[in-house]
C-alpha cells in the first residue's frame, strides 16, 4: 500500500505566507523561509509553494524566494504561480523546485500540459484545480478563484491526466479555510475518474478530517495551511494518530 502524504502549503503574497477563507480575507501567517525549515524538520512529506497573485498580476513566480525556501528543505518541493512556459519551469527547477503546479495557464492553453510533461516528465507536473459548486455542479475557477468557467471539474481532471499530468491538486473553494472537513464526496468521485494521485485541499480543521479524507475521500495526500501555520495541528502527532487508525504514513 502506498503511504499517504501530509503536505503543508505556503500561499505567498507580497513575499509573505498568507491564509484566507474561501480564497478571500487573507491574513499574515509568517515568513515562508522559516515555515519551510520548520516543516522540513517536523515530519512534512512534501511542501507546496503557491504564489497566489502571480497570474492575476501578470508576472512570474518569485524566483529568489523559491531559491531561499528550497535551501531550507530536503523534502519534495512543488512551486506554482504564473507558470506558462518551458522556460518558466526550467528557471524554477534550477532554483530548487522538484515539481511545478499549473492552474489557470493550463485551462487557457491545455497543450501546455503536454509540452511540460514531454519536456520534464509527468512526475514533475502537478495540475491544480480550484473548483466550487455552482447550481450543484462542480465548476473550475481561474485567477485564484476569481473567474468562473463552464469547465466541469471531473471532465477537466480526465483531460489533464490524458495530457500528461502526474498529479492533481484539487482545492474545494467551498471548503477552503472553513475547517469543516475536506470535500470527500467530490474527492472520491475524482478518484474514480482518474488513475493519477489526488491531493485533497481545502477544509482541514481537526485530525479527524485527515482520517476521513484518506478513508472516505480516497485521497492520496492531504494539503493544509492554517492548521499547520498556527500550530493547531502538529504533523508528527497527526501522523501517529493516522497510524493508529490504520492509515499508512511515513514517520
Task: State pLDDT tens for residues 15-59.
Answer: 888 866 665 556 677 789 999 999 999 999 999 999 877 666 766
pLDDT reading at 1 higher than 80: no
This prediction's pTM: 0.93
Check 45, 130, 176, 212 and give the catalytic one: 130
Q: Residue 90 to residues 67, 79, 146: CA-CA distances in angstroms? A: 13, 12, 28
Check 11, 51, 176, 220 and give the catalytic one: 11
Q: Which of 17-21, 61-65, 140-144 has the lowest mean pLDDT?
A: 17-21
Give catalytic status of residue 152 as yes or no: no
Q: Which residues are CB-neighbours of 114 under 8 A, at least 6 positions away?
A: 163, 164
Domain at 5-244: CATH architecture? Alpha-Beta Barrel (3.20)
Give catalytic status of residue 130 as yes or no: yes
Amino acid at each position: 500500500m502506498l503511504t499517504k502524504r501530509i503536505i503543508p502549503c505556503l500561499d505567498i503574497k507580497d513575499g509573505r505566507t498568507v491564509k484566507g477563507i474561501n480564497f478571500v480575507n487573507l491574513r499574515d501567517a509568517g515568513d515562508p523561509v522559516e515555515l519551510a525549515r520548520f516543516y522540513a524538520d517536523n515530519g512534512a512529506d512534501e511542501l507546496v509553494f503557491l504564489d497566489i497573485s502571480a497570474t492575476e498580476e501578470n508576472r512570474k513566480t518569485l524566483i529568489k524566494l523559491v531559491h531561499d525556501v528550497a535551501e531550507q528543505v530536503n523534502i519534495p518541493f512543488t512551486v506554482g504561480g504564473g507558470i506558462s512556459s518551458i522556460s518558466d519551469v526550467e528557471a524554477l527547477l534550477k532554483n530548487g523546485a522538484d515539481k511545478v503546479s499549473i492552474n489557470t495557464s493550463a485551462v487557457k492553453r491545455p497543450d501546455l500540459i503536454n509540452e511540460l510533461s514531454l519536456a520534464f516528465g509527468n512526475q514533475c507536473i502537478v495540475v491544480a484545480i480550484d473548483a466550487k459548486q455552482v447550481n450543484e455542479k462542480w465548476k473550475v475557477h481561474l485567477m485564484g478563484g476569481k473567474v468562473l468557467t463552464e469547465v466541469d471539474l471531473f471532465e477537466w481532471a480526465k483531460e489533464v491526466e490524458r495530457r500528461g499530468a502526474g498529479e492533481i491538486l484539487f482545492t474545494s473553494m467551498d471548503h477552503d479555510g472553513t475547517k469543516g472537513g475536506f470535500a470527500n464526496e467530490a474527492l472520491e468521485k475524482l478518484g474514480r475518474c482518474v488513475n493519477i494521485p489526488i491531493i485533497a485541499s481545502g477544509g482541514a480543521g481537526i485530525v479527524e478530517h485527515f482520517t476521513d479524507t484518506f478513508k472516505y475521500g480516497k485521497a492520496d495526500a492531504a494539503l493544509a495551511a492554517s492548521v499547520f501555520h498556527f500550530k493547531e495541528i502538529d504533523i508528527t502527532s497527526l501522523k501517529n494518530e493516522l497510524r493508529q487508525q490504520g492509515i499508512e504514513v511515513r514517520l
